[in-house]
């Protein structure tokens, strides 16, 4: 029998690891609780009615349709038995492996803030993005029939974290409020709606240059986003956000974009973890004392040449996935593995119409783009990496429609089921105080 490689997770790292093993003399089995890959950088566009759910997801089996040594199984991994080299899935079944790649990704980190998971909205899955969109649109429907509720914070949208996700979400939501929803709700004074961006530091887009930060702040403020620096959340409640200074903001919509932590699976594996719950790895991304097992993406505490932890971003995950696939090939050929070296290409974000920022790394010249060119570069790069020709075409058409018509047609209130099987509609009724 040929060696079996099990890959846990169908994210950026898992997909690229599997692709790197194409035509290798191994059998690849990928496990994920969903049967699709989600292009997470565009989840905020689903949440703000810019793209359809199906535009940013693709069935895993379709992606690997032409890879003969690949198989997929929809399953939730709960543990790994290192002694027997078996992966344990929900229900108790064990799956044996010769090599293991753990790439289960990350969840949002609540940093110990009470109520975040219970009452906040996050952007790590299609379900979360679609339900956030439905929730926000429902707020306007309620305001239309009960305008007196606006005074209670019904149309206050609070975003925590002014990193790329928070900035992009704030900009997209501001444009939705300014250019699209007034056509749907002419009876509402949408100037009463507020977008409040909370940031615990004194800067937006903290890793970027001062010039880019200043530009981003100016664009957001021109979009009427209320940015509050040096503001820390103490507690999230169903109808308000309590701040560390004792004040509170009335809201029923808190969007948490304040950072991530490794998937909870990592805590079950008996590994040494860092403060962000990432597993410590060897320079080749293998686990200590386990040369047959690799940890990649958001779960790995990998470091760069200077000894600094690599960021939990898609570009790192993609390169790490490719790397470990190649290392398994080397092990199969009796060769020694190579150290992982991250090639930093830079960072980019989109703030609004014709307003994007892109900072290329020194490896690529160190150019900084702001405004239309940054916006255009962002569109181009995301189209390249978005999987599937149909998805690329759909996204391009949606963006063109949005750009030329100043409209977004994905404004349906449709609640999706959570991973636990409960529809968020029931939670929404409870949140709004109405019966199903």
Q: What residues act catalytically?
A: 168
Q: What is the rounded CA–CA span in Å between residue 15 and residue 4?
A: 16
Nearest alpha-carbon partner for 102 in 189, 14, 15: 14
Q: What is the rounded CA–CA span in Å between residue 402 and residue 203?
A: 30
Q: Is residue 424 within 8 Å of residue 415, measured between CB atoms?
A: yes
Q: What is the rounded CA–CA span in Å between residue 188 and residue 145?
A: 10
Percent of the chain as helix, strand, coil, to the nearest 5: 35, 25, 40
Q: How far is CA 199 from the centre of its chain?
A: 19
Q: What is the rounded CA–CA span in Å between residue 249 and residue 241?
A: 5
Q: What is the rounded CA–CA span in Å between residue 118 and residue 116?
A: 6
Q: What are phi and psi of 342, to 5 degrees?
A: -80, 130
Q: Exposure of 374 by Cβ count < 10 A (0-12 exposed, 13-18 middle, 19+ buried)?
A: buried
CA distances from 243 to 121, 126, 240, 393 (A): 17, 29, 10, 43
Residue 14, token pair as written in the block: 């898992």
> Cβ atoms within 10 A of the Cβ of 157, count?
24
């Amino acid at each position: 029998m040929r060696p079996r490689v099990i890959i846990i997770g169908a994210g950026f790292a898992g997909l690229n690891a599997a692709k790197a093993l194409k035509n290798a003399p191994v059998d690849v089995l990928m496990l994920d609780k969903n049967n699709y890959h989600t292009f997470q950088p565009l989840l905020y566009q689903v949440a703000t009615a810019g793209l359809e759910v199906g535009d940013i997801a693709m069935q895993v089996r379709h992606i690997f349709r032409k890879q003969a040594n690949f198989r997929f199984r929809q399953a939730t991994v709960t543990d790994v038995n290192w002694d027997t080299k078996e992966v344990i899935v929900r229900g108790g079944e064990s799956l044996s492996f010769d090599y293991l790649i753990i790439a289960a990704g990350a969840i949002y980190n609540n940093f110990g803030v009470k109520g975040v998971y219970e009452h906040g909205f996050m952007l790590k899955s299609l379900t979360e993005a679609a339900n956030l969109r439905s929730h926000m649109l429902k707020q306007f429907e309620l305001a239309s029939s009960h305008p007196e509720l606006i005074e209670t914070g019904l149309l206050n949208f609070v975003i925590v974290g002014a990193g790329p996700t928070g900035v992009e979400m704030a900009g997209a939501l501001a444009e939705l409020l300014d250019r699209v929803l007034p056509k749907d709700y002419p009876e509402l004074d949408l100037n009463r709606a507020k977008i409040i961006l909370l940031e615990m530091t004194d800067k937006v887009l903290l890793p970027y240059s001062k010039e880019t930060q200043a530009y981003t702040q100016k664009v957001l403020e021109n979009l009427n986003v209320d940015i509050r620096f040096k503001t820390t959340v103490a507690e999230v409640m169903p109808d308000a956000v309590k701040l560390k200074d004792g004040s509170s903001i009335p809201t029923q919509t808190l969007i948490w974009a304040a950072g991530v932590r490794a998937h909870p699976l990592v805590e079950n594996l008996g590994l040494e973890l860092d403060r962000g719950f990432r597993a410590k790895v060897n320079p080749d991304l293998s686990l200590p004392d386990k040369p047959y097992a690799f940890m990649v993406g958001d779960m790995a505490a990998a470091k760069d040449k200077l000894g600094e932890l690599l960021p939990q971003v898609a570009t790192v995950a993609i390169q790490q996935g490719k790397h470990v696939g190649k290392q398994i090939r080397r092990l199969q050929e009796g060769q020694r593995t190579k150290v992982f070296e991250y090639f930093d290409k830079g960072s980019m974000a989109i703030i609004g119409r014709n307003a994007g920022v892109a900072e290329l790394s020194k490896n690529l010249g160190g150019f900084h783009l702001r405004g239309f060119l940054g916006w255009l570069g962002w569109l181009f790069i995301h189209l390249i990496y978005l999987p599937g020709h149909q998805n690329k075409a759909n996204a391009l058409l949606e963006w063109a429609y949005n750009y030329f018509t100043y409209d977004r047609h994905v404004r349906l209130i449709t609640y999706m089921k959570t991973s636990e099987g409960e529809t968020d509609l029931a939670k929404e009724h409870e949140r709004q105080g109405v019966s199903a």
